[in-house]
Structure 1
């Protein structure tokens, strides 16, 4: 019935409207996508698609179209629209040097077309990445302040989106998939804020174009080099890193080039300090990374554009604890990893309304590591922050008395990995009519994974692990090498039934060679323009994700996919239902309300098998500190985790998100957004339903920028979130160490030290998982930027303060048993304290 109503409402509008079809190119004739097209005096607009094309449905009359894109001079054209007719226009934009003091584009997001059916789409202006307070000029950290997006912690740039794990996000750069977009163990991402041109995040309900992920899509596009000048330089430096960008035009094929390089120097600054304090010995390389990016863009023919992208980076850490360190705990670590991406894109536009592109790529993420050390001094000694000198005095005292000397927990290990992907993707778009656009594509990837691991774990540490059945397991030795194909085919059809109603049905087929299974994913979305400034959007779809070793890094979970029982695995699956409404009150104000519901099934987890646990009981009335007060350990049935992967979990996530956004205008130079999210996320295993590890009920984000004057800018970010779930202790129990006797049979004993029985904290089983909550999280970040001109060059200087009021946010809580009182003492692990940084940027 509602279809009939929609048709009746829209028929009078059709008779009074006309169509404007256009294309935006630069002076070299290369199409420009992401160009903001504004219609004056209506105040509405659109954005050019890949290929530079755009379409507008406007009432009859005369209008001026204005095209704007960062790095280009505005283009304008006047057009007269006649009812029922189509007018064609062409715009040319001239490239120019961007002034550091120019802020007219700050806070201005591209307008999402009413006929764009994608809900949950958030497009971020690259300049917001650079100036958002507390984001350390990082793309992923900027996205963590958007509705529906959570940060794992202050130390990670991973994205948790609408109740899904980080491995369930598809990460793209220039259309190429990357497995590991993180640097410095997740502290920052691979995206260079100085070279990013477009950032689009789909937090749910994404179309059939994207596959092999359950949750969200992040699609980032790097810009091309400056085509107007032979050479242009941009240098930025802060107290932690340096960033250099060189770019210019090529003397042939209307081409351009861009080279960027980044390097952190934590190791150069902090390395001598920690050596002087004798915290480490020998050569040391604190966590550091360097990367190099190259992009070439060529237009050998008016219908053809070719681009080449290369990204290479290296992460490195080397350190060994020195003999004069303040604590008894020690570590020796070597870790080195590389990310290399080589890609080529060919865009072909034989005629208006028809385009195709071919993407070829090779990607490698590989590395090696070795580590060793001793730890657990607080658990062994039973008090907070023991010093190395205290430990030595205790050891000497016990030796003189002939008592057993306590030993710290020792762990050693080594490993390596290599995740490689070779891919080809062909996509085509055909505008069959003014009201119908077909898009289809086929992608083929060949994936090769290699992994090796060796661990030597202290038996007492194994006992601690065995005392908590919810701790994920690791093998002590593992080597694997697998390779397999992955194929994806999709088709989607954008249909404008009326000027107000647009449908996007789509169908996707994926073949996962790792599982030797194919799956079909239907998708559907629609948009309905209630008024010219108000759009309703909805989406439904099925989504599948294949397992793979390359996804385990994001999950921080080990699974043995070579186990015979893994042959029957099914791909993980989810369904999305999204409904939202968006209203643009004026060119500077936007309000969006969106609700979502997600269901998960066939989630892959470590199998929980019936096994044996060892228990002991206290003799009534006896001193629990004495070993003889406890009965000998006996085996009883109990569950334990294994590394065997099974489709053993389901889940659900649902919520409501509200976003109010203010765009920059000269009249009111304040921009940013405020958002609120109300969300629930759960998982279920073995018939037990429990909160998802990142279930955060309430989240408020306030992100504001204020252009105080032409020389001064202020940015503020404030985030509040209720606490993540946490597993609280139920009590204490003796630590039971299981060893093998001379016949190879297991033998259990109660672990003791010079004080008597050693105790561990009892966390319970699955029924107690995530039943508690960490304290609420909130943090205020501040950034002040000033602009000036020195020696004829444009400069900007900034001060960025993370956690301005020094809130002690809690990452986790460890527990130890007081050996005197046998009370459980919590030890909160805090996240970032107040942290000021400063930096400078200059354009040469």
Structure 2
């Protein structure tokens, strides 16, 4: 692996130098600045209806520069100076907002979607409004364990690689500690417990090279250039989110910007990108937004550049698109799409056996061929019945498919002989319809009720070659379709000036095995003082089992019975309890703390005494193969979290998060054990700063330090492994050993050059600055007959260049 890092970093620095040299090509050009347009829409936070006549004023600017919203709540503030700016937004009867440090760049307008909250009483609501921050969830029904974020936040933190999932690991209660995948581990839960939602539709894993049934992957498919303001929730989330145990990622795609065509070009480790957006015609508010990306390493391979990855070059491409058509009744019609395909060959037969690190891309004793593709496309229609009520219908189709072939290698005099041993093909298509009605009854009461219908169409088969029987066996297979019906009601009640109650109920019915759930949710908040608020949350949550798990078959076909497969498995269930507080230390500084307890039950475990539990599913690339499971397992997660944050102001921001927690489970043998995700402690410290180098050049720097406890793993039985010639784990003592703690220091530095009609950005993100060899996995090598540790990425340099024009 050291050889790979030297080769990769050398080429990365050459690429970075090329980006920096581009600066000299533009430095001789006229650098005169020109004001840019800030545009957007202002709506009521509860009803979603446009606010007419709202005032938008540029702060600290002489002479006064401002504008008002039109009949559709839209505004355009022209001639805004480039750089960081702040806006004052106000409207009669609404609590005002002060938007700080908005980035205005050349070559493209800045778009804002602003929600104002109606004041029940003038004085009291103004006090409460002052406690709201940029981190508040976009979903007004979430009071606890929720966090809002936008594109700039996703791109700001070092080490995030412009990936929303990796960005989320900076938040309290979330653990990544995995350089190879962006799995989201929330409060010790399996990453399989996370719900992904895009444009109000539940979607499969939006990641390249994602395993079937998983929620993470090595490379994110979501393009930050196309994302709008989104939400991330870690506990007791509102009733509108279901079929998830641990958390929800609610993503939106932004609308294209109104006006002339605008373009974005970008090249970096994640890919080579090109984006376009604008109005369909000169006098139209209908807009388009489209972004395309292609794998940088694959393109360089095609032109003969080698980055030290050998044959294991990731090939992928993806496309993000949204078309938006405003309607006369303040509603809108939108068309959206997200799609991608990827493939990689990880060939042990190509590895240099003289190297000390032959497990960089997997196992030297196997050749792996992996392909995957994902598509999400849909149409949504929003219609306002009146200024207080609107309905939204979304119809969508999603597709996920992946294939894996594993060939076992037999080495003789360092020459491999391959034999196909595993073949897996998985495909799932979904037809989804989601409709909800949002009603603002008055300034105190708002309700949202909806129903989501999903039709699953599956076709999958996992086959493995059985050595001793000299035959192939299909361990799980299935095809056909089934349905999931989800219904919910959320209610927001501001029953006193300092009190807010957000409650709801969720229900679902799964037709495949006649499983149903009815789950109450409740969040309560009290504004104790003008600086301190306290909150509490409770929620019952459930999740259906992955369909391939339900169709797992016994080892011998002749003994198949309906009692031995998993078709009768019910939903896994959990109850969340949360207590929290928010304290405003100063104008820009805040503290947030939560304590929580999560009770998990009806978890699938083995029928006979065993330490197996589906709570550990997701600690490997593939779903576990077990049949004859029963819903008799339990688990518990508990802990405390702390967040200290400084909002971006005066060119400076900071974020410190810490989590201390426990994650335990009990299998059918009745023994309490650590889960695979019980790292017990996670801390993140981030600091960022900007410096203005003249009127048009800005230097940016960001650094992050991550410290996390090591993961628990099941030890390898060395004697049995040598006897059988394959890896044998001590399944009688699962997750009893722990890896060393995880430590990583990242540093990112960049330049932003604002020119008259375009903006350039150069960024170099240096990850794992100390080159620490964090442990990734413990494996048995059948060639050397030794136990080896595979390390994660060492020093990793990620350059990026972006241009707006």
Q: TM-score, normalised by structure 1?
A: 0.73
What's the counterpart of residue 682 of structure 1?
A: 664
What is the root-mean-square deviation in Å for CA atoms of aligned residues?
Answer: 4.1
Cα displacement (A) at 1:609: 7.2
After superposition, the C-alpha distances for 1:458-487 in whole angstroms (9 at most, x for unaligned) are 45999xxxxxxxxxxx96454311311111
Distance change >3 Å, CA 653–CA 53, structure 1 → 2: farther
* 1:665 Cα deviation after fit: 1.3
CA separation in 2, counterparts of 1:115 and 1:673? 24
Residues 261, 293 of structure 1: 8 Å contact kept: yes
Quote the Cα distance in structure 1 between the aligned partners of 2:745 and 2:677: 21
- Point out the structure with max Rg over C-alpha: 1
SS of 2:167 mapped into structure 1: helix
Alpha-carbon distance between aligned partners in 1 of 2:703 and 2:744, rounded to the nearest angstrom: 11
1:568 corresponds to: 568
Aligned-pair CA distance for 1:492: 2.2
The correspondence for 2:400, drawn from 362, 365, 375, is 365
**CA pair 65-488 structure 1, distance change in 2 beyond 3 A:** farther
The residue number in structure 2 matching 1:197 is 228
- Distance (whole Å) between structure 2 residues aligned to residue 535 and residue 321 of structure 1: 56
Say if 1:263 and 1:115 are closer, same or farther in 2 by CA, change over 3 A: closer
User: Does residue 1:414 correspond to 2:441, yes or no?
Assistant: no
Q: SS of the residue aligned with 1:140?
A: helix
Structure 1 residue 335: Cα displacement: 3.0
Aligned to 1:309: 336
Question: 1:146 aligns to what SS in structure 2?
Answer: coil
Distance 1:88 1:704 in 2: 31
CA distance in structure 1 between the partners assigned to 2:136 and 2:67 by the alignment: 13
Which residue of structure 1 aligns with residue 619 of structure 2?
Answer: none
Q: Which residue of 1 aligns with 2:708?
A: 721
Shift of 1:190: 1.9
Is the CA contact (8 Å cut-off) linking 1:715 and 1:784 kept in structure 2?
yes
Partner SS state of residue 528, structure 2: strand
The one of 778, 781, 804 equivalent to 2:746 is 781
Matches within 5 A, 1:216-255: 216-229=247-260, 231-251=261-281, 254-255=285-286
Cα distance change on mapping 1:346 and 1:732 into 2, 3 Å: same
- What is aligned with 1:159? 184
1:411 CA drift (Å): 4.5
Give the whole-Å Cα distance in 2 for the aligned partners of 1:716 and 1:323: 37
CA contact (8 A) 1:423 1:445 kept: yes
Per-residue deviation, residues 95-141 of structure 1 (Å, max 9, x unmatched)? 99744999999x98244699865200111232121131111111111
**Is 1:703 the counterpart of 2:686 in the alignment?**
yes
Distance 1:108 1:151, change over 3 A: same
> What CA deviation, in whole Å up to 9, does each residue of 1:24-45 have, x standing for no partner?
xxx9998556x9xxxxxxxxxx
> Which residues in structure 2 correspond to 1:146-295 (within 5 Å)?
146-151=171-176, 153-185=178-210, 186-229=217-260, 231-251=261-281, 254-270=285-301, 286-295=313-322
Deviation of the 1:244 alpha carbon: 1.2
CA distance in 2 between partners of 1:87 and 1:605 (Å)? 53
Cα 1:65–1:696 change in 2 (3 A) is: farther
Residues 232 and 115 of structure 1: is their aligned pair in 2 closer, same or farther, counting only changes over 3 Å?
closer
1:770 aligns with 2:753: no
- Aligned-residue offset at 1:814: 2.6
CA 1:736–1:665 in 2, change beyond 3 Å: closer, same or farther? closer
1:240–1:264 contact (8 Å) kept in structure 2: yes
Query: What does 1:728-807 align with in structure 2 at a 5 Å threshold?
Result: 728-729=715-716, 732-733=719-720, 763-766=729-732, 768-789=733-754, 792-807=757-772
SS in 2 for 1:286: coil
Deviations 1:537-566 (A, max 9, x none): 11111111112327x6xxxx9845996123
1:121 is matched with which residue: 129, 138, 146?
146
Tell me the distance in 1 between the aligned counterparts of 2:591 and 2:349.
56
Cα distance in 2 between the residues matched to 1:125 and 1:70: 20
1:324 deviates by: 9.2
How far apart are 1:337 and its partner, in Å? 2.0
The 8 Å contact of residues 111 and 257 in structure 2, kept in 1 or not, is answered as no
d(CA) in 2 for partners of 1:87, 1:771: 56
Deviations 1:266-290 (A, max 9, x none): 223347779999965xxxx832210
Shift of 1:763: 4.7
Match of 2:521 in 1: 523
Matched position secondary structure for 2:154: helix
Higher relative contact order (CA 8 A, sep 6+): 2
The change in CA–CA distance for 1:791 and 1:563 in structure 2 (over 3 A counts) is farther
Query: What is the aligned partner in structure 2 of residue 534 from structure 1?
Result: 532
Cα shift at 1:523: 1.2
Matches within 5 A, 1:453-468: 453-459=462-468
User: Quick one: structure 1 residues 297 and 496, their matched pair in 2 at CA, closer, same or farther if it must change by over 3 Å?
Assistant: same
Greater CA deviation, 570-579 or 409-418? Answer: 409-418
Secondary structure of residue in 2 paired with 1:812: strand
Cα deviation digits, residues 696-735 of structure 1 (max 9, x gap): 1111101221113352000111100111112335763486
The alpha-carbon distance between structure 1 residues 460 and 199, as it changes in their structure 2 partners (threshold 3 A), is: farther
Provide the secondary structure at the position in 1 that maps to 2:643.
strand
Comparing 190-199 with 723-732, which one deviates more in the overlay?
723-732
Counterpart position of 1:448? 457
In structure 2, distance between residues paired with 1:203 and 1:801: 29
Distance 2:761 2:95 in 1: 42
Post-superposition Cα deviations, 1:59-106, rounded to whole Å, max 9, x if no partner, equal xxxxx99999999747656667xxxxx5799999xx99744999999x
Q: Following the alignment from structure 1 to structure 2, what is the Cα–Cα distance between the partners of residues 641 and 78? A: 58
Moved more, 176-185 or 593-602: 176-185
Tell me the CA shift for residue 430 of structure 1: 1.3
In 2: Cα distance, 1:647 partner to 1:241 partner: 44
Question: Could you tell me whether the CA contact under 8 Å between 1:169 and 1:218 is conserved in 2?
Answer: yes
CA contact (8 A) 1:659 1:676 kept: yes
The yes-or-no answer on 1:353 pairing with 2:388 is yes
Q: Distance in 2 between matches of 1:115 and 1:513?
A: 32
What is the match of residue 583 of structure 1? 583
Structure 1 unmatched runs, 5+ = 1-26, 36-46, 57-63, 81-85, 378-387, 393-406, 463-473, 611-639, 738-757
Report the counterpart of residue 834 of structure 1 in structure 2: 795
What is the Cα deviation at residue 534 of structure 1?
1.8
Aligned equivalents of 1:277, 1:112: Cα separation in 2: 42
Query: In the alignment, is the contact (CA less than 8 A) between 1:785 and 1:797 conserved in 2?
Result: yes
For structure 1, which segment, 231-240 or 716-725, has the greater mean C-alpha deviation from structure 2 after superposition?
231-240
Distance 1:732 1:222 in 2: 54
Given the alignment, which residue of 346, 371, 375 partners 1:336? 371
In the alignment, is the contact (CA less than 8 A) between 2:90 and 2:97 conserved in 1?
no
Residues 1:558 and 1:715: Cα distance change in structure 2 (over 3 Å): farther
**Does the CA contact (< 8 Å) of 1:119 and 1:539 recur in 2?**
yes
List alignment gaps of at least 5 residues for structure 2.
1-36, 55-64, 78-85, 113-131, 211-216, 359-363, 555-559, 611-623
Q: Give the Cα–Cα distance (whole angstroms) in 1 for the partners of residues 680 and 351 of structure 2.
A: 46
Q: Any conservation in 1 of the 2:226–2:320 contact (CA below 8 Å)?
A: no
1:436 equivalent among 436, 445, 452: 445
User: Helix, strand or coil: the match of 2:719?
Assistant: strand
Shift of 1:152: 5.7
Q: State whether residues 116 and 527 of structure 1, in contact with CA within 8 Å, keep that contact through their aligned partners in structure 2.
A: no
| Distance in 2 (alpha carbons) for counterparts of 1:188 and 1:278 | 16
SS of structure 2 residue aligned to 1:127: helix
TM-score, normalised relative to structure 2: 0.77
Q: Say which of 789, 810, 824 aligns to 2:775.
A: 810
Supply the distance in 2 between the matched residues of 1:599 and 1:806 (Cα, whole angstroms).
Answer: 39
